Amino acid sequence: MVKYANVLVTGAGSILGQGIIKCLNLNNEKKNKKVTYKTIGVDMSIEAIGLYRSDLGLVVPAASSIDYIDSIIKICKENKIEAIFVGTDQELLPLANAKKLIETESDALVISNPPEVISTCRDKWTTFEFLKKNNLNCAESSLVENKENFIKEFNFPIVVKPREGYGSLHFYIVRDEDELNKAISEIEKVGWRPILQEYLDAIDSEFTTGVTMDKGAKKIMSSISLKRILKNGQTNKAFVDDYDIVRESAKEAAIKLGCIGATNIQAIQVNDQVKIFEINPRFSASVPIRAVAGVNEPDIIFRNNVLGEEIIVNDYKKLVCMRYLNEMYVPLSNFKLSKDNNKVENSSSFTESYF
C-alpha cells in the first residue's frame, strides 16, 4: 500500500532545493514507489522557481529572522507536514538547533545532521582538524598566521577560501604572494576568515560522494560517487561509476563524524590516494543525478526516519550526466495572482520537451 506524505522543502529557489524537489517528483513517477509525496516548497522570494514546481509554494522570512522558525512551525501545522528537507546552507543550523521545538510543536521531522556535525563541517579549519585527528587522508591546510611555513612546504599555487564559505564564493587559486595577500584581503573584507589549502590537480580526478546514514547513525544506507567537471562552482558533467576507493574514504569519514541522514563529501584522487578537501553536512546539489542513477537520497532518508524502514541500496546505474540550461513557464495571469497572494497554488507551470 502506498503512503501519502506531505513534506516541506526549504530554499525552493536554490539549486539544492530544486534538486530535492526533482527527487521527490521523480519518486512519484515510479510504479513501485512506497510513498507518494506532496511537496510544499518555501522560499524568501515569490519568484523562486521551486515554488512553481511544488504542489504548494509559500513565502517565509529569511533564516536569520526571529520569525523564521515560528513561520516554519505554522506552515507545518497547517499543512500536516511529516518531514522537512533543508535546501540551503543558511537554514541548516537554525533548523537543526530548533529541531526539538519544531518536532514538538508540529510533529514534522527535521531531516538534518546533528548540530555538532554541522558546526564541524561548516568551518573548513575545524573539518581539517577532525580529518587529521581521525587519520583520514585530506588536503593539507593552514591558517593565515602560518602562511610563510605553508608556502615553504607546498609552494605555489595555493588554494585560498573562506573557512565558513559555501559553493565557489571567494574561492581563489593564487600563484604568488601578491595574489595570496589580495585573496586574503577579499575574504576578510566580507567578514569571513581565510584558510589556505594545498593545491591538488583536479583534472579528471575530482569526486563528490553522497552518503546516507540511518537514523541511529550506525548503518550506511547508500553511497554513490560522481567524478565531476565543474562550471561556475557547480557540477556541470558527472560520471557515475563504482569508484570504490573514493566511496570507502567517504563512508569512513561519515561514520567517524557521526552523521545522520545525508552527507556530501568532496575529494580529489591523487594516484591511489583519496584526499578529502570539503564535507557538506547535507544533500548535495547533484542529488537528482544520484536519484536517476537509482539512489534517491531524500526518499531513502524519509522512509528510514519517518517510516522506520531498514534500507540498504548497493546497486545503481552507471551513467554520464551533462547539465544544461532549461526553461520553466508560468501563465502571466497566474504569476501575477501568486505575487498578489504571496502564495503559489495551481500555477499551471510547465516545461517544454524541445531539447
Query: Tell me: the pLDDT tens digits for 100-156?
Result: 999 999 999 999 999 999 999 999 999 999 999 999 999 999 999 999 999 999 999
In tens, the pLDDT along 66-102 reads: 999 999 999 999 999 999 999 999 999 999 999 999 9
| Mean pLDDT of the residues in the chain | 95
From residue 314, alpha-carbon distances to 19, 64, 222, 224, 267 in Å are 22, 39, 7, 9, 21
Of 43, 52, 32, the residue nearest 90 (C-alpha): 43
pTM of the model as a whole: 0.95
Q: Is the dihedral of CA 225, 230, 234, 235 positive or negative?
A: negative
C-alpha cell at 138: 585530506
Domains of the chain: 3-111+326-345 (3.40.50.20), 144-198 (3.30.1490.20), 202-322 (3.30.470.20)
The helix (run of H) or strand (run of E) holding residue 225 is strand 220-231
Report the C-alpha gap between 107 and 81 in whole angstroms. Answer: 8
SS3 helix, strand, coil % of the chain, rounded to 5? Answer: 35, 25, 35
Question: pLDDT by residue (tens digit) across 2-21?
Answer: 999 999 999 999 999 999 99
Q: Which pLDDT score, from 0 to 100, does residue 218 have?
A: 87
Q: Could you give the residue ranges of the DSSP H alpha helices within the chain?
A: 15-28, 68-78, 89-97, 99-106, 115-122, 124-133, 147-154, 177-189, 244-257, 287-293, 297-305, 332-341
Averaged pLDDT, 236-246: 96
User: Distance between CA atoms of 140 and 218, rounded to whole angstroms?
Assistant: 29
Give the CA angle between residues 286, 289, 293 to the nearest 5°: 145
With vertex at residue 188, the alpha carbon angle to CA 184 and CA 193, rounded to the nearest 5 degrees, is: 85
* Cα→Cα distances 125→84, 114, 115, 182, 318, Å: 29, 19, 17, 20, 34
The answer to whether residue 255 scores a pLDDT higher than 80 is yes
